[in-house]
Amino acid sequence: MPNTSTAVTPHVAKHTSRPKIEFQRLGKRFHRKSEPVPVTVMEGLDLTIYEGEFVCVVGPSGCGKSTLLNMSAGLMHPSAGKVLYDGAPVAEPNTKVGYITQKDNLMPWRTVTANIALPLQIRGMDKKAIGKRVGEMIELVGLTGFEKAYPGELSGGMRKRVTLARTLAYKPEVIFADEPFGALDAQLRGVMQQELLRIWAASKNTVVFITHDISEAVALGDRVVVLSARPSRVKVEVPIDLPRPRDLSKLRFDPRFGELNEYLWSVLSEDLNEGDEV
Ligand SMILES: Nc1ncnc2c1ncn2[C@@H]1O[C@H](COP(=O)(O)OP(=O)(O)OP(=O)(O)O)[C@@H](O)[C@H]1O
Ligand SMILES: [Mg+2]
């Protein structure tokens, strides 16, 4: 058994691309009606995400992962520090990013086609171009034949594909994904992960991917960022030196994959209390 704590060096490799998103001494406090004292979710969080990178973020439940994405997308404001996008502070909802939120938020009264078309309609794209783009997206995520179906008629995995297609349709520079495959069964999850890697390799956008699953983070990421328990900050950043393209069905037999998983588990488990979820 290799000594994983020394086999894995927790430092960040030199990046050749430019910073896309920067968190500088980021802090977030929430005031709850029922509690007189505000809860400090995040304090002094520093992290840079580089253009074209696939960064996975893991951390104990409730440490502020979704909050981090909400601030990155401009849907929430920091209580301290800064979030920079292309070097400028994020002051309002950022329309250059695509956000796959933790909750499935498809519109039940719209068909698959109409759901995917929505962000394009909001952007004022002409009808013919929308039809073409939506058709391409449906093919890309393997939903041909379900164009006229409603979300209620689809499986959980198919709904996730619609969400992915809707996000990719307007070609976002950055994709924020908050546990996008969490509810899927293992087999479908594998299919969707491989699909996402294929799409990312072709589109070359930046991805920030939140997950509870360490092996998913290692399988997909260029880098895994571990957040500490509240008030969260970056505990460790681990570059994932597995070659690409990655065949996810074979990855679990790779000893390096095992080492990285084991190391990340050891780091993450330090912040978990008994009975905690990751
Ligand atoms: N709008 C809000 N008002 C008050 N408290 C909030 C709000 N949003 C989040 N919080 C609190 O901030 C903390 C972090 O929440 P967040 O949803 O970011 O955690 P998370 O890391 O995404 O958790 P999980 O892994 O369970 O999804 C929690 O304690 C939560 O109760
Ligand atoms: Mg969350």
Ligand of minimum distance to the alpha carbon of 65: 1
Q: How far is CA 194 from CA 74, 220, 247, 266, in A?
A: 29, 9, 8, 26
Ligand of minimum distance to the alpha carbon of 39: 1
Strand partners, 259: none
Q: 17-96+176-189+208-272 — its CATH code?
A: 3.40.50.300
Domain spans of the chain, in order of start: 17-96+176-189+208-272, 103-172
Q: Whose CA is nearest to atom 14 of ligand 1?
A: 64
Bond into 231 cis (ω within 30): yes
Atom number of ligand 1 nearest to Cα 31: 4
Dist CA 102 CA 23 (whole Å): 21
Distance from the first to the final alpha carbon of the chain? 25
Tens of each residue's pLDDT in the chain, 278 residues: 444 444 565 545 456 789 999 999 999 999 988 888 899 999 999 999 999 999 999 999 999 999 999 999 999 999 999 999 999 999 999 989 999 987 778 999 999 999 999 999 988 999 999 999 999 999 888 899 999 999 999 988 889 889 989 998 988 999 999 999 887 788 888 888 998 998 888 888 999 999 999 999 999 999 999 999 999 999 999 999 999 999 999 999 999 999 999 999 999 988 876 556 55
Q: Whose CA is nearest to atom 1 of ligand 1?
A: 30
pTM of the model: 0.90
Q: Whose CA is nearest to atom 16 of ligand 1?
A: 64
Residues touching ligand 1 (Cβ under 6 Å) are 30, 32, 39, 41, 59, 61-67, 102
